[in-house]
Amino acid sequence: MSAAAPTRFEAACLPLRALAGSLGFSADETDAMVACLRVLAASWADAPLADPPPWSGLGADASGCDYSLVLDGERREIRVTVEAQGAPPSPRSYLAAALALSETLEARYGADLSRLRAVLPVLADLDPQAAGVLWHGAVFRAGRAPWFKVYLHLMAAGRRQARATARAALDRLGLGACWEGVAARLGPDDDLLFLGFDLLPGDAARVKLYLRHAEADAAQLAQHAADPSRREGVRAFVETLAGPGRALRRGALSALHLTPGSTAPARVTTHLRLFPHCATSDAVLRDRLRAALRRLGLPTGPYDAALRALAGDDLADEEGLHGWASLQWAGGRPAVTVYLSPRLYLARFGPVALAPERMWPSPVPGRLACA
């Protein structure tokens, strides 16, 4: 990183390199990850880190990217999520930047854009105050080329239209029959937040619909498990991270994995916002996550190594590193994913994206962002 004027990309690639090293990726594999991150972040990579952040709901501090690692006792896998950003910052300019990035991924990596092109008409009318429009994710696994996914913000056309937007998008993906099962899970104040799908051809692509619960405790979240035999595991996971009997307000998601011709999700992933909904201290969250992993019979070593690489051994004064954690079962095995923030702006501006005084062009009051 340049000492004089670091860029956002220079700051953002440091934690990615640290994570890759902690999980045993080779130097060449790590360099390939960083090069891919440069492609994903091209719309903002060269912006000076000293500038205030343009609006982003990705990261409590509007970092515009995050990292995650899958902990299932088998895989070495790192994921990154990035928001493409346009100038001047607005939902419309961000969508244009995201579509340009999608075409770059198609040209350079062979990403399949057929599903994205099918659902684009649902984004024809954007709410000028939408919190986001389209994010991109990349998955890095040892011995395999990266592959990509997108997260379409279902409130991009307005919060009141989110359910209609979701239903229209599912119809365009040939998943209209799934709506019955989705609607049955929706409480009156719940939100449909994202539609996520892989940029892969055919049956290789997963499609997930993310339901944000208005308020839910461990027992209520457990009831959303697709397999009733997993409900106790979900309840224990949530209670370990959030505390017994505690209800999370707008801090828990159920990701419904949808398949053609089925009215019920194939499986459900439970997501919890760790900071600040479960705790503010990273030391507390570390201890709870370790306990949750042990309870599921998963090793803590990869998680411990990742934390050590990012923040050292003393987390007593750290906060905001842990973004989310999720739990799902696949093939009878539990898998926990921990989402970690690069905290590009947290020290200077705090968690401005959690309760912003404003969004566009920047969540930092009284200052304009240079995109």
Q: Which residues contact 342 (CB under 8 A, 6 or more apart)?
A: 11, 12, 14, 15, 59, 63, 65, 66, 67
The H or E element containing residue 105 is helix 91-109
Tens of each residue's pLDDT in the chain, 371 residues: 445 569 999 999 999 999 999 999 999 999 999 999 999 999 999 999 999 999 999 999 999 999 999 999 998 999 999 999 999 999 999 999 999 999 999 999 999 999 999 999 999 999 999 999 999 999 999 889 999 999 999 999 999 999 999 999 999 999 999 999 999 999 999 999 999 999 999 888 999 999 999 999 999 999 999 899 999 999 999 999 999 889 999 999 999 999 998 889 999 999 999 999 999 999 999 999 999 999 999 999 999 999 999 999 899 999 999 999 999 998 889 999 999 999 999 999 999 999 998 999 999 987 654 44
Q: Which residues contact 301 (CB under 8 A, 6 or more apart)?
A: none
Q: Is residue 96 part of a domain?
A: yes
Q: Is residue 367 part of a domain?
A: no
Q: Is residue 302 part of a domain?
A: yes
**Within its chain, how far is the Cα of 210 from the centroid?**
11
Compute the half-sphere exposure of residue 371: CA atoms within 13 Å on the CB side of its CA.
21
Local structure of 135: helix, strand or coil:
strand
DSSP state of 223: T
pLDDT score at 245: 87
pLDDT score at 291: 98
Task: Identify the CA nearest to 330 among candidates 69, 75, 80.
Answer: 75
pLDDT score at 367: 61
Q: Which residues contact 123 (CB under 8 A, 6 or more apart)?
A: 95, 133, 134, 152, 156, 157
Domain count, the chain: 1
Calpha distance 307→325 (Å, rounded): 14
The residue segments making up the domain with residue 88 are 8-349
| DSSP secondary structure, 329-369, as one string | EETTEEEEEEEE---SSHHHH-STTTS-S--SS-SSTT---
In the chain, the amino acid numbered 60 is: A
Q: Is residue 363 part of a domain?
A: no
Calpha distance 245→162 (Å, rounded): 30
Q: Is residue 364 part of a domain?
A: no
304: its two tokens: 């411990």
pLDDT score at 228: 92
Q: Is residue 291 part of a domain?
A: yes
Q: Is residue 225 part of a domain?
A: yes
Q: The pTM is what?
A: 0.96
Number of CB atoms found within 10 A of residue 28's CB: 8
Local structure of 154: helix, strand or coil:
coil
Q: Is residue 356 part of a domain?
A: no
Calpha distance 335→2 (Å, rounded): 38
Task: Identify the CA nearest to 198 among candidates 256, 136, 243.
Answer: 136
Q: Phi then psi for 193, rounded to 5 degrees?
A: -95, -55
